[in-house]
Amino acid sequence: MPPPDRSALLAHYAAMMEEVPVGLLLLDWDLQPLWFNAEAARACAVWNHGERRAAALRARAAFRLPEALAAACSALRETWTHGEVAGHPQVVSDLPRGLHARLKIHPLAAGQPPAFHVQLDYRRPRGDRERPLSPGAVALLARLTEREREVAMRVREGLRTAEIAAELRRSPLTIKTQLAAIFNKLAVRGRTRVAALLNR
C-alpha cells in the first residue's frame, strides 16, 4: 500500500479538528489567524457581538480576534521579546457570558517567529436552569425527545458530558449518543452551537 499523500493527511487532520468540541485557533506572531475551527469562530463571535447577534452571524465569515484576546497575546509577545518564557498558559475569561480562553506561545522551526495557540471554551455560567427560554428555543426543543431535552438543557448550562451523565444517572456513552442525536436534529456540529441557540 502506498504511503498517504501529505496534503490528504493535512486535509483529514483539519476535518478531524472541526469535530473537536473546543475552539482551536492558531495565530501568527502578528496576531493574524493561520487556522481556526468552527467552535473557535463561534466563541469569538459571541465574544465580539454577544449571544443574540452571534447566533445570527455566519461566524467563520465574520471572524475577528476579540480585543481581550489580542491584548493578552500582545502581553505574552512582550514577555517573550524580553527573553522571558511563560511557563503556564495565560487564561482570559468573560464569566458573565461563559467565555474562556487559554493562550500559549508555541515556538516553530528555527529562525521562524513563534505562533500563538489559543483554546476557546464557551460555557454558560451554572445556575441558568431557571432562566426563561425564548420562543425560538422552545421550538427547537420541541424537535427533541424528552430525554434529549434533558441533555440539551444541561448543555445550555455548560455542563460537560460526565457531569450530565452523573446528574441524569446515565452512562457517558448514552449521553454522547443523545448529544449526537441532538446535533443531528438541530442541524448543528457541536455543543457550543446548541448552547448558543438555546440561550438566544
pLDDT digits (tens, 9 = 90+) for 98-152: 788 999 988 877 778 889 999 988 765 555 556 677 788 888 899 999 999 999 9
Same fold, 6-122 and 135-198: no
Mean pLDDT over all residues of the chain?
84
Report pLDDT for 86. 57
**Residue 103: beta bridge partners?**
90, 118
Q: Give the model's confidence band at 48: pLDDT under 50 very low, under 70 low, under 90 confident, else very high.
A: very high
- Least confident window among 90-99, 143-152, 159-168: 90-99
At 31 the three-state DSSP class reads coil
Q: Give the model's confidence band at 6: pLDDT under 50 very low, under 70 low, under 90 confident, else very high.
A: confident
- Residue 159 cell numbers, joined: 455542563
Amino acid at 70: A
What share of residues in the chain are helix, strand, coil (percent, to 5)? 50, 15, 35
Distance CA(66)–CA(45), nearest Å, equals: 8
pTM summary value? 0.61
State the residue for C-alpha cell 448550562.
157
- Residue 42 cell numbers, joined: 463561534
Average pLDDT over residues 35-63: 85
Distance CA(6)–CA(116), nearest Å, equals: 24
- Domain-wise residue ranges, the chain: 6-122, 135-198
Burial class (CB in 10 A: 0-12, 13-18, 19+), 57: middle
Pairing of strands 99-106, 90-94: antiparallel
CATH class, 6-122 region: alpha beta
- Residue 173 cell numbers, joined: 456513552
Q: What phi and psi, each to the nearest 5 degrees, are found at residue 87?
A: -75, -35
Fold designation for 135-198: Arc Repressor Mutant, subunit A (1.10.10)
| pLDDT over 90, % of the chain | 31
pLDDT at 4 over 70: no
